[in-house]
Chain A
Amino acid sequence: MAIVRFADQKLFRNPWADFERMRRELDALFQGPGHEAGGRGTVFPALNISEDSGSIYVRAEIPGVPAGEVEISIEGDTLTIRGERKTCTAEEKYSYHRRELECGRFSRAITLPAKVQVDRIEAQAANGIVTITLPKAEAAKPRQIKVNVG
């Protein structure tokens, strides 16, 4: 199970980060397009995480699993996505020409970058992509502070 901690990334500012980023970009250039998104995670499902001022959005690519069979749970600020893909028909009498789809159980946990309102989390599935919308807790929302003149 992989845990992505956003807090770790922010605490230590690596002075070589810019050079590392350049090296990665050069590597991606030589490998050709399509590689910049890969190589970072190997745990199923692949995730895209983004946020705006009000919510955090977690999008997971889980083809072949019916929407009702994806288990999503939250504990503290750890979000866990669990399930099982049963596309494999494990019957021996079939003769396979290609076998490229992975199947089996999967479980992935991520640490959320901010506190969320646990009771208002929503999840939606469409065409094999599950979108989880996590509204941020009031304390975690950005706030404008007015400067008083006086």
Chain B
Amino acid sequence: MTEKEMQIQQKQEVQRAGEPTKPEKQYVPAVDIFETAEAVNVLAEMPGVAKDGVEIELENETLTIRGTVVPQEHGGETVLLREFEPGSYLRKFTVAETIDQEKIQATMADGVLTLVLPKIAPAKPRRIEVRGI
């Protein structure tokens, strides 16, 4: 049996440079990054974030993934067990020059963001002939 039981991953909070002004928590989403011949794929786990809450920015080769959660009020309920706290997500990556920045695609499904960063087609090897005089 290769079946394995999943473990809860504790969410890591973002180490912030500035002082926080919002009371909500900010987490570093867990990611899978894998590379195929054509593209670099990023899967980021951001439960509670809707499609509209995802912001992806690319600036100076830095890719920023930001996910904001609409806070949900459950007034009048008594908490019996609390194992997770909703919060927003933030993570930054440096993107290599070989990525075609124009063609980055993102999809959000069931709280997991999938980013496809296609590679620029490798330049065809060019042979330069040396001619004799």
Binding site for B on A (CB under 8 A): 4, 6, 32-34, 37-52, 56-57, 61-67, 85, 87-89, 93-107, 113, 125-129
Choose among A47, A48, A64, A99 the residue that contacts B112 (Cβ–Cβ < 8 A): A64
Across the interface, which residues of A come within 8 angstroms of B109, CB to CB?
66
A43/B8 in contact, CB under 8 A: yes
B10 proximal to A (CB < 8 A): yes
CB-CB under 8 A from B11, the residues of chain A are 34, 38
Which residues of the partner chain B approach A126 to less than 8 Å between Cβ atoms?
50
Query: Beyond A52-B77, A94-B34, is A87–B4 a contact (Cβ under 8 Å)?
Result: no
Q: Which residue of A lies closest to B109 (CB)?
A: A66
B6, B10, B82, B85 interface centre (most CB from chain A within 10 Å): B6
Q: Which 5 A-B pairs have the closest CB atoms?
A: A128-B111, A63-B111, A128-B47, A44-B6, A50-B77
With contacts A61-B84, A113-B80 taken as known, whether A95 is within 8 angstroms of B35 at the C-beta atoms is yes
Indicate whether B103 reaches chain A with its CB closer than 8 angstroms. Answer: no
Q: How many residues of B contact A (CB 8 A)?
A: 43
B83 within 8 A of A: yes
Assess A129 versus B47: contact at CB under 8 Å? Given A6-B80, A46-B84, A103-B6: yes
Query: Is the Cβ of B74 less than 8 Å from the Cβ of A50?
Result: yes
A49 touches B80 (CB 8 A): yes
Given A46-B83, A48-B81, A107-B5, do A63 and B25 touch, yes or no (CB 8 Å)?
Answer: no
Nearest-neighbor residue (CB-CB) of A126 within chain B: B50
The docked-state distance in angstroms from the alpha carbon of A86 to that of B70 is: 27
Q: Say yes or no: A43-B112 contact (C-beta < 8 A), given A50-B79, A63-B46.
A: no
A128 touches B6 (CB 8 A): no
- Which residue in chain A gives the minimum CB-CB distance to B53? A127
- Chain A residues positioned under 8 Å from B5 (CB to CB): 43-44, 104-107
